[in-house]
Amino acid sequence: MKNDKIALYPGCSLETSSSHYLKSIEKVFEILEIPSDSMEEWNCCGATSVKSIDQRLNLMLNLRNLALAEEQGIRDLVVPCASCYHRLVSTEYELNRDPKLRDELNKEAGFNYKGEVKVRNILDFFVNVVGLEKISSKVVKPLDGMVVACYYGCLNTRVPKPASFDTMEYPMTMDKITEALGATVIDWSYKTECCGASLFITVDSISTKLVGKILNDASLREADCITVSCPMCQTNLDTNQGKVREAFNIEKPVPSPFITQLMGLAFGCEPEEVGMDKNFEAMKPLS
Amino acid sequence: MNNKQIGSILVVGGGIAGMQAALDSAEMGYKVYLVEKEPSIGGNMAKLDKTFPTNDCAMCMISPKLVETGRHLNIEIISYAELEKLEGEAGNFTAIINKKARYVDENQCNGCGECELECPVHRKDNFNGELSERTAIYRLYPQAIPNVYTIDKSTPEAPCKVNCPAGVNVQGYTALIAKGKFQEALNLIREKMPFAGVCGRVCHHPCEDNCNRNEIDEPVSVRNLKRFVADREKTLLEKGELKKPSLEDDTIAKRAEKIAVIGGGPAGLTCAHDLVKKGFQVTIFEASSKLGGMMRTGIPDYRLPKDYLDYEIDLILGKGVEVKTNSTLGKDFTLQDLKDEGYQSVFLSLGAQKAKEIPLEDSEGEGIIYGIPFLRQISEGKKPPMGSHVAIIGGGNVAIDVARSAVRLGSKATIVYRRTQKEMPAHSWEIEEALEEGVEIRNSWSPARIVREDGTVKGLEVERCVTIYKKDGKRSLEVDHDQKNIVEADTIIPATGQECDLEGIKDEIEVEEGLLSSDPLTLETSQQGIFAGGDVVLGPSSLVESVAQGHRAAESIARYIDKEELRTDREPVMHSGPSAEMPDGIDKSKKERTHTSVAEPEKRNSNFEEIEKAFTEEEAIREAKRCLQCASCAECMECVRTCKAEAIRHDQKDERRQIHVGAVIATGGFTPFDARKKPEYGYGIYPNVITSIQFERILSASGPYEGHVKRPYDGKNPKKIAWIQCVGSRDVTTGNDYCSSVCCMYAIKEAMIAKEHDPEIEPTIFYIDIRAFGKGFESFYEQARYESGVRFVRSQISSVKENPLSRDLQLQFIEDGQYKEEEFEMVVLSVGLLANPANTATANILDIAQNKFGFFEEKPLQPLTSSKEGIYLCGAGNGPKDIPETVMQGSAAAALCSEMLKEVRNTEASVKEYPVEKQVEDVEPRIGVFVCHCGINIASVVDVEKVSEYISKIPGVVHAEHTLYTCSQDTQKRMKEIIDEKDLNRVIVASCTPRTHEALFQETLREAGLNKYMFEMTDIREQCSWVHQKEPQKATEKAKSLVRGSIGKSNHLEPLQLKNISINKAAVVIGGGISGMTASLSLANQGFKVHLIEKEENLGGNMVYLKMELDGEDWQEFLKNKIKEVQENELIDVVTNTKVKSVNGSVGNFTTVLSGEEETEVKHGVIIIASGAQEFKPDGFLYGKDDRVKTQRDMEFEIDKKDKFGTVAMIQCVGSRDDKHRYCSRVCCSEAIKNAINIKEKDPEADVYILYRDLRTYTYREVFYRKARELGVKFIHFPDKEYPEVKESDGKLSVHVKDTVINEGISIQTDLVVLSAGIVANEEENHQLSELMKLPLDEHGNFMEAHVKLRPVDFASEGVFVCGLAHSPKNTEENITQALAAAGRAASILSKDTLEVGGVVSVIEEDKCASCLTCLRECVFDAPFVNDKGKAEIDPAKCQGCGNCAAACPAKAIQLLTFTDAQETALFNNILEEDIEEVTEVK
């Protein structure tokens, strides 16, 4: 069977805390005429703790994901979450680099993963599979006059191997998408700085400081919003702004919509259709 | 070799490497072709401000070299040229050189720069790191050689010009408008468009549609710019502020031939205009009463007021065109009539003035008027017959014009059109305006019937149109007869198209589909000599298209009359095609398009006043400045108008040259790393992050900020500046995992110079290792670090962030074990040196190999030899390197070529002949003074104009002037002319230092037929502008005094004659190590006799202790072969166990006494010192006390003998960089790495530690440093002043070291300790040689060359050269290179037959000499001797003119020529005396 399908790997966050991300992706996919089904029977990518504790188990977890995707005829497995992407793409790389290991793990877990499914970051997918031309052709309400800071976070592009789909330290894919929507993007210093999402619950003093720096830079550069593609970053930048802004003396809220939410708005969707009602900091309505 | 050898050499690349190679080759007797791709030579060195470690000005050093290269008789510079092909083989190559069109005649241009002042096109100046702009006509830098301008012109042309049917030079006039040259702009437009004002109003402007600015925001408002300049002229004329342009042109030769133009529309008028400009007698026959065609009758006044049209028609008619109105072809006259009347050719431009009928019943008669006559009647001032509600059929521009006119006449207007609004052929902006004015448009309705009641029109019945998609996907428009509607109207105006009225011509000229047919290229019809164009051929078309046809017809008619071929070299019919892309490196920020003001709809829809206003001057300039100047040169021809020398050649073409050469030297140079590839550092994103190359330009007086340290964003003087090292070097992520070798030093230099410019600057250098490995580098580094206040932080920066408010830059780093964040006002990225991308093309053409980094590859153990025979390498093209090494390689490559071509030396080179010197003795002094601006170096402080004016009044001075750069080639040329013109017999240049420039000016004097000693130089830069920067007035006064002094002295100048002495063509080489042997072999291979003197029993020197190279190449085998080669060479006389006892004589004729087993004497012309150095004997670390402590040298051979090593601890910098040895020994880091790798490869279980301070694995050695780390060698960094300790207890050896990373001491139990012992000079021997030959030594006991940068193997004393370890520590391949360089320099003397001596030397008046021997003791050059009369005498060949003897002689018996007592007294008297009238004594 030839793998020719496109499917999402939603990961845990898109089904729970970031369900508005999934909603906006589904809506945008619909407008772009991309089948938006999630792959079936996916399992946890192991990003939270497994990867640090048992690397082999981590490979195994994602081997299962990849093997199932392959069985389901998937060609492009689109991964919106930066952590999931990191785990899946690293597994793909490791297993394809080392066929012996792949055979060994396949045998152990009873799969037959051959390496025919391609793991794609959602930004990579939009720019390199869908294409900017297609995206801009769907724009009916251009984001004219909106100034956007594109925030990639620390994980999206920092996959040392295989080579990143974008420039590791100063990526531009999200900027290109945002420009295609008609908005103005800014150059700024915090595109790939860590927001401290992993310490959001445990040591919030650190994450407050890190988020503060990000919001501060974007706000001083007069960005109307910071657009994001990682669900953890979005939660971290969005949910705690009151406290952070107070600490950093930032007057105006800095909404942090997902890139797919901005796409939806530019495509003419109502805010609720792309889950904007779930964002803590509201976007000012588009004129 | 079968082929005949050729005694010329091709040098590819005109940087400092190429220049040196060219100069040495030329001096050795070869003809040199120096090919440079840039407009001028100089390469990267010309961009530098100062050079390390002496902080000499780079330009001051390179400038004389540039001039020397430029004026060398046997060097031909072929600049702005590229090598295209090389064929043949070593000894006989044929090269094809493509010399690119520079659009300036090199022989005519004198570099005056006037063109630059007028050129309206600006481009980022690459030479200045894009921090400033240059014009499209430019010169790389003021001192450039050749000193000529070049025009930067793109092919294809700009899209606006390419897409203009009439070929109007849009970019040209836009550029002129931006510069405020409005009239020039209008003139340029008129060359192709006689109706600038009309076109500026009604053109459909394909130029704007194709404008590259569309990619950024909106196109430049080109049409309105054109209108602006046209209107401006008319307005100024009317106001009387402009003189009426003279229409008669006397320069046009009148011709008798008569030509008839039938139809006075745009095509006809243009044709008539062009022909009358060619001198023909032209008559226009026009059917109506006025000229203008559709311009007059088809365009309503609210778009084109007719006085503008009349004005432009009058300008054409004023040139002598005859007009016959109310003359209709076929009615009033025929073609035959014209022939009978003597018209030799006819242009038919009848237009398309007839309305197309509509296919409806009853479409004539009352209530119906067609659009064309409707508009014509309005244009004639009549009100057409119409009611209060008109229905217009059609969707084109005519329909819109009709509707808008009808509205203005008080009627309601409804347009009915079959298709949608988007599909209407009318321009979108016209539709918008019509709607605003109240016109109703009913789209998708098709007229079906005219509704009449009692014959009176009541309306138009319309039926719905629907678009049907057929099965094959094609669309078709169909009428739905069931959907009907009636548009109420009392007048129907069909406006569905125009036709030609061909009644009067159709029987004579071939007609096709209602149009006259003519050849699209020539416009010739079926009748010879009859041409047709414009709407009558094209159908209704635009103004620009008609004008284009008019030009085409005129060209054909002129050719026809002159019986020339009609078709050759014609402008293509379709005036579109590829056009220039948006240029790189320009400001691409959005800039709002300037809009003209348009009257409000309610104010304009009731009258015919023009609705749109023209730009104001400010608006026009602002708008014109939005132009991206896509083609660079705009061909506005301002340069042509300005150039007094008539040097501009806009039609110049590339030129191919074939040259024959015996050998090739490829330089190639480097290109700085593009810092955009490391976006985390923010270059190209944050304005205050710049590259080191940009910083060099910032520091430079001729740079973008004239030497003031400013930052680009706001011009603020930054105080805190950070340097980030290794940007694009030592970096696998960019593929450049080698060390660029010069960045540490240039960063230190830049930091120090920045502080000199502004003491408040606090420079910080962030680095991994400071690689100060070259001669004098370490002490320079120490000076920066410990004395000059440069802060060094050993922490690599991972990213740069910007403070969005202050635009300062935030860095995070570790200093003293602490994490820190700090803001800097500017960040300088120390970018690495990359192989020039052009190297690949060069390598392919030359068929030579490149290494994986793109640099040219040298053969293993054969420095500078490429993979192809007969092609040699030098400079940064074969790897990143510093200037002295580059210069050495230049000389060395010349030597290698000379070895190959020795048989054909002096076969291609020519000999210089000077004019006979004119008699100057006993002649009244006639002095010429040239006061130099030195750019701004002098002129910004000293008022050179005043100095020159003052000087001109001093008696004896017959000429005084001030010049921008007196050393420039054009000024030199001028100087010669003036010497001749004003019969000067003395010349004074008041500029910089005679050290660098005197020889140059003296050469000019010789070329002008003056004895070169009739020259005097006054230094007003070092002595005035530099030292008295803050007191310009006093500096000016001082300059006056100094020049006054020179004038006093010059009155006493006397001509001196040089003597030719013969040269003994043999060399003595001292030292039989690898350097001495290499130098000897090279000289012998060039055909010269060599005496190689070795103090030991055997040849080989230190190399016997060297087993292999880092990459494993076997040096011992190499050495064995080399010794054999030397011993077997018949021209080399090897003398071992021998030392030099004495050296006498001077360059060309030395006598050296050798003391071996017996004393011998040899005679020779040159000396090369290659006396080597030795390994430092460690005096601590238990060395010599415990045999487990060794040096690297011992270790190298021991690795073979062992299989297991256990733990090995290597300690770096033993006898280097310590209190006693304040220099880096350069080789020890690589030695340690080499041994460590060899140990690990033999015994992977061995634990190897390298304890170091800075790992100095420069260039490709870095790759091995990485390899060592990958093999598991452990590197521990210890603090500068805390050396590790080696201890022994209970038979166990241990090393204690402080690790700076963990900031704690650690102890390593070890089996072996290997000390990286440094290199120390052979002090005793060097001292002895230094005394024998009076040669200087540096503070470390090494021989001190003449100049660290540009004379790295020479001594001040001529004929003596140095190479190898005697000069400074270096690696083997570098020793070999330097030895070749010394051989090259020596050969440039030996290859000549005679030398000129004398000139500025001391002479002794024998009568006064008391034979006290003071002079003999005083002279460091050993020039005085006691002659056979018992008196002191001075050997002019040895005398360097220092004057020590003259000063010391108690009897005042010695005079230094040109510095005689009389001359100097006059000098000082004149300086001290202020009243110029009194002091000037005339000899």
For residue range B614-671, what is the model confidence (pLDDT) as tens digits?
999 999 999 999 999 999 999 999 999 988 778 999 999 999 999 999 999 999 899 9
What pLDDT, on the 0 to 100 scale, is given for residue B76?
A: 97
Q: Calculate the alpha carbon distances from B661 to B90, B673, B848, B852, B1380 in Å.
A: 9, 34, 17, 29, 22
Given the structure tokens 């130099």, which residue do they identify?
B932
Reported as a pLDDT band with limits 50, 70 and 90, residue B825 is very high
Average pLDDT over residues B500-506: 85
Cβ contact A169–B678 (<8 Å): yes
B802 touching A (Cβ < 8 Å): yes
Average pLDDT over residues B914-929: 92
Q: Is the pLDDT of residue B1477 over 60?
A: no
Provide DSSP, B572-641.
PSS--S--PPPPSSS-----PPP---B--HHHHTTS-S--BPPPPHHHHHHHHTT---TTBS----HHHH
Reported as a pLDDT band with limits 50, 70 and 90, residue B480 is confident
Q: Name chain B contacts of A187, Cβ cutoff 8 Å.
A: 685-686
Nearest CA in chain A to B802: A189
What pLDDT, on the 0 to 100 scale, is given for residue B1090?
A: 98
Q: Is the pLDDT of residue B1326 over 80?
A: yes
B1215 in the Ramachandran plot: left (φ > 0), alpha (ψ -120 to 50) or beta? left
Per-residue pLDDT tens over the stretch B592-612: 999 998 899 988 988 899 999
What pLDDT, on the 0 to 100 scale, is given for residue B605?
A: 87
Q: Is the pLDDT of residue A164 over 90?
A: no
Reported as a pLDDT band with limits 50, 70 and 90, residue B1 is very low
What pLDDT, on the 0 to 100 scale, is given for residue B469?
A: 74
What pLDDT, on the 0 to 100 scale, is given for residue B1357?
A: 81
What pLDDT, on the 0 to 100 scale, is given for residue B1473?
A: 81
Q: What's the distance, CA B141 to chain centroid?
A: 8
Rounded Cα distance between B773 and B1258, Å, is: 8
Q: Name chain B contacts of A214, Cβ cutoff 8 Å.
A: none
B159 close to B579: Cβ distance less than 8 angstroms: yes
The closest of B200, B194, B221, B201 to B209, measured between CA atoms, is B221
| This prediction's pTM | 0.86
What pLDDT, on the 0 to 100 scale, is given for residue B1481?
A: 42
A167 touching B (Cβ < 8 Å): yes
Cβ contact A189–B678 (<8 Å): no
Rounded Cα distance between B1283 and B747, Å, is: 27
A221 touching B (Cβ < 8 Å): yes
- Stronger pLDDT, B216 or B22, i.e. the higher one: B22
Reported as a pLDDT band with limits 50, 70 and 90, residue B1059 is confident
DSSP B212: G
Task: Give the gap in angstroms from C-alpha A49 to the nearest C-alpha of chain B.
Answer: 28
What pLDDT, on the 0 to 100 scale, is given for residue B706?
A: 86
- Stronger pLDDT, B267 or B56, i.e. the higher one: B267
B1377 in the Ramachandran plot: left (φ > 0), alpha (ψ -120 to 50) or beta? alpha
Q: Is the pLDDT of residue B1476 over 60?
A: no
Average pLDDT over residues B253-279: 94
B677 touching A (Cβ < 8 Å): no
What pLDDT, on the 0 to 100 scale, is given for residue A287?
A: 47
B478-487, B519-528, B814-823, B1298-1307: least confidently modelled range: B478-487
Q: Calculate the alpha carbon distances from B284 to A234, B28, B316, B525 in Å.
A: 76, 74, 11, 19
What's at B379, amino acid-wise? S
A187 touching B (Cβ < 8 Å): yes
Reported as a pLDDT band with limits 50, 70 and 90, residue B1483 is very low
What pLDDT, on the 0 to 100 scale, is given for residue A37?
A: 86
Nearest CA in chain A to B806: A220
Task: Give the gap in angstroms from C-alpha B211 to the nearest C-alpha of chain A.
Answer: 21
Per-residue pLDDT tens over the stretch A54-100: 989 999 999 999 999 999 999 999 999 999 999 999 999 999 999 99
Q: Is the pLDDT of residue B2 over 60?
A: no
Q: Is the pLDDT of residue B177 over 90?
A: yes
Please write down the HEC assignment for all residues of B648-672: ECCCCCCEEEEEEECEEEECCCEEE
Q: Name chain A contacts of B810, Cβ cutoff 8 Å.
A: 189
Tokens of B849: 């190999």
Per-residue pLDDT tens over the stretch B712-769: 999 999 999 999 999 999 999 899 999 999 999 999 999 999 999 999 999 999 999 9
Q: Is the pLDDT of residue B1478 over 80?
A: no
Composition of chain A by helix, strand, coil, percent to 5: 50, 10, 40
Q: How much is the mean pLDDT over chain A?
A: 92
Q: Would the ipTM clear 0.90, i.e. be above it? A: yes
Reported as a pLDDT band with limits 50, 70 and 90, residue A201 is confident
B686 touching A (Cβ < 8 Å): yes
The closest of B417, B314, B257, B1025 to B701, measured between CA atoms, is B1025
Reported as a pLDDT band with limits 50, 70 and 90, residue B454 is confident
What pLDDT, on the 0 to 100 scale, is given for residue B3?
A: 64
B219-223, B437-441, B577-581: least confidently modelled range: B577-581
Given the structure tokens 């690696």, which residue do they identify?
B1371
What pLDDT, on the 0 to 100 scale, is given for residue B1474?
A: 66
Average pLDDT over residues B512-520: 91
Q: Hey, which residues 188-217 in chain A have their CB within 8 Å of chain B?
A: 188-190, 217
Reported as a pLDDT band with limits 50, 70 and 90, residue A145 is confident
- Stronger pLDDT, B584 or B1411, i.e. the higher one: B1411
DSSP B842: H
Residues above pLDDT 70, as percent of chain B:
99
Average pLDDT over residues B486-491: 92
User: Which domains occur in chain A, in start order?
Assistant: 5-123 (1.20.1050.140), 137-278 (3.40.50.11810)
B678 touching A (Cβ < 8 Å): yes
Q: Please give the interface size between A and B, counted as residue pairs whose CB atoms are below 8 Å apart.
A: 24
Q: Is the pLDDT of residue B308 over 90?
A: yes
What pLDDT, on the 0 to 100 scale, is given for residue B349?
A: 94
B726 close to B832: Cβ distance less than 8 angstroms: yes
Nearest CA in chain A to B684: A187
Cβ contact B804–A190 (<8 Å): no
Cβ contact B680–A170 (<8 Å): yes
Q: How much is the mean pLDDT over chain B?
A: 92
Task: Give the gap in angstroms from C-alpha B744 to the nearest C-alpha of chain A.
Answer: 25
Q: Name chain A contacts of B682, Cβ cutoff 8 Å.
A: 189
Q: What's the distance, CA B368 to chain centroid?
A: 69
A248 touching B (Cβ < 8 Å): no
What pLDDT, on the 0 to 100 scale, is given for residue B995?
A: 67
Cα-based angle B1047, B1051, B1055 (whole degrees, multiple of 5) = 120
Closest CB to A220 among B678, B685, B805: B805
A15 touching B (Cβ < 8 Å): no
B130-139, B285-294, B506-515, B1335-1344: least confidently modelled range: B506-515
Tokens of B202: 């009604």
Average pLDDT over residues A119-127: 97
Cβ contact B680–A169 (<8 Å): yes
Relative orientation angle of helices B222-239 and B306-317, to the nearest 10 degrees: 80
Task: Give the gap in angstroms from C-alpha A56 to the nearest C-alpha of chain B.
Answer: 25
What pLDDT, on the 0 to 100 scale, is given for residue B359?
A: 82
Per-residue pLDDT tens over the stretch B1428-1438: 999 999 988 88
Query: In what order do the strands lie in the sheet containing B986-991?
Result: B957-963, B927-932, B986-991, B1015-1019
B106-115, B638-647, B948-957: least confidently modelled range: B106-115
What pLDDT, on the 0 to 100 scale, is given for residue B431?
A: 93
Closest CB to B679 among A169, A220, A221: A169
What pLDDT, on the 0 to 100 scale, is given for residue B1480?
A: 43
What pLDDT, on the 0 to 100 scale, is given for residue B1482?
A: 41
Interface test with A, best of B799, B810, B821 (most A CBs within 10 A): B799
Per-residue pLDDT tens over the stretch A252-284: 999 999 999 999 999 999 999 999 999 998 887
What pLDDT, on the 0 to 100 scale, is given for residue B805?
A: 94
What pLDDT, on the 0 to 100 scale, is given for residue B1400?
A: 87
Per-residue pLDDT tens over the stretch B1354-1389: 997 889 999 999 999 999 999 999 999 999 999 999
